[in-house]
């Protein structure tokens, strides 16, 4: 008997890694049940440890296999759903896709710290800290190189890949903090926000009642 497939996630409003893992599972066409945890409470953390060895979300449970950490989940989903196209078909493009996913996974700490994901709020005219501006510049360069090489409308051409899932929370941050973008990047953001999966996730984020005061202050 195979155990049921679950994805452990936390707040849909605040948890950018949850969004990435959830989008990856949806893009892969995986059927799964969501387990929602609130990692901020001590009791929940104990419960989360049973579900995710790193005490971090997301964590996928599939066929008796526990996979935590978003990059590992992305690669695992690509293995079990090879036809979903989470990675591009060409080897060079696959390497490029993995490289920019890795860059997102291990970098952009200034952007992540200064502009936390918060789907329920907008901060018009928000003044972005200089180091976060460097991250934004690097991200838009990455996007432009992808558009030039693969022709859009997604980062690796006509089909969305794991890279679009990895950068989706950046798209939402650009909207939340009113980051000014050139036309091509703005069009990409619009396209990602119009994905049915994004509409569904954002809709559910808006219904969440719990707020984290530190992340909701006026900057």
Ligand X SMILES: N[C@@H](CCC(=O)N[C@@H](CS)C(=O)NCC(=O)O)C(=O)O
Binding site for ligand X (CB under 6 A): 10, 15-18, 39, 56-58, 69-70, 105
Which ranges constitute the DSSP H helices of the chain? 16-27, 42-51, 70-80, 91-106, 109-114, 130-150, 162-176, 183-193, 196-207, 213-216
Q: Are strands 33-36 and 65-68 parallel, antiparallel or unpaired?
A: unpaired
* Measured distance CA(23)–CA(13) in Å, rounded: 14
Q: Shortest approach of ligand X to residue 186 CB, angstroms?
A: 25
**Distance from C-alpha of 217 to C-alpha of 69, rounded to nearest angstrom:** 29
Q: Which is nearer to ligand X, 12 or 160 (CB)?
A: 12
**How far apart are CB 194 and ligand X at their closest, in Å?**
24
Query: Which CB sits closer to ligand X, 3 or 41?
Result: 41
Closest CB 144 distance from ligand X, rounded Å: 25
User: Of 35 and 185, which has the nearer Cβ to ligand X?
Assistant: 35
- Min dist CB 78 to ligand X, Å, is 15
**59-62 and 6-9 strand pairing:** antiparallel
Looking at the Cβ atoms of 69 and 128, the one nearer to ligand X is: 69
Query: Helix 196-207 and helix 16-27: axis angle, to 10°?
Result: 140
Minimum distance, C-beta of residue 88 to ligand X, in the bound complex (Å): 21
Residue (150 or 167) nearer to ligand X, CB: 167
Which two three-digit tokens encode residue 3?
């155990």
């Amino acid at each position: 008997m195979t155990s049921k497939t679950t994805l452990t996630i936390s707040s849909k409003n605040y948890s950018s890694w949850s969004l990435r893992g959830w989008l990856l599972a949806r893009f892969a066409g995986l059927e799964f049940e969501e387990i929602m945890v609130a990692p901020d409470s001590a009791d929940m953390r104990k419960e989360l440890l049973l579900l995710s060895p790193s005490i971090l979300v997301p964590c996928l449970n599939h066929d008796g296999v526990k996979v935590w950490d978003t990059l590992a989940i992305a690669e695992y989903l690509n293995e079990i759903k090879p036809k979903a196209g989470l990675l591009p078909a060409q080897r060079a493009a696959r390497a490029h896709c993995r490289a920019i996913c890795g860059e997102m996974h291990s970098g952009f700490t200034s952007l992540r710290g200064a502009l936390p994901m918060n789907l329920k709020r907008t901060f018009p005219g928000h003044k972005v800290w200089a180091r976060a501006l460097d991250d934004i510049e690097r991200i838009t360069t990455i996007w432009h190189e992808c558009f030039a090489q693969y022709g859009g409308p997604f980062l690796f051409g006509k089909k969305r890949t794991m890279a679009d899932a990895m950068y989706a929370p950046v798209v939402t941050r650009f909207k939340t903090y009113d980051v000014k973008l050139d036309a091509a990047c703005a069009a990409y953001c619009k396209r990602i926000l119009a994905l049915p999966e994004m509409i569904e996730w954002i809709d559910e984020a808006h219904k969440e009642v719990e707020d984290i005061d530190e992340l909701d202050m006026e900057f």
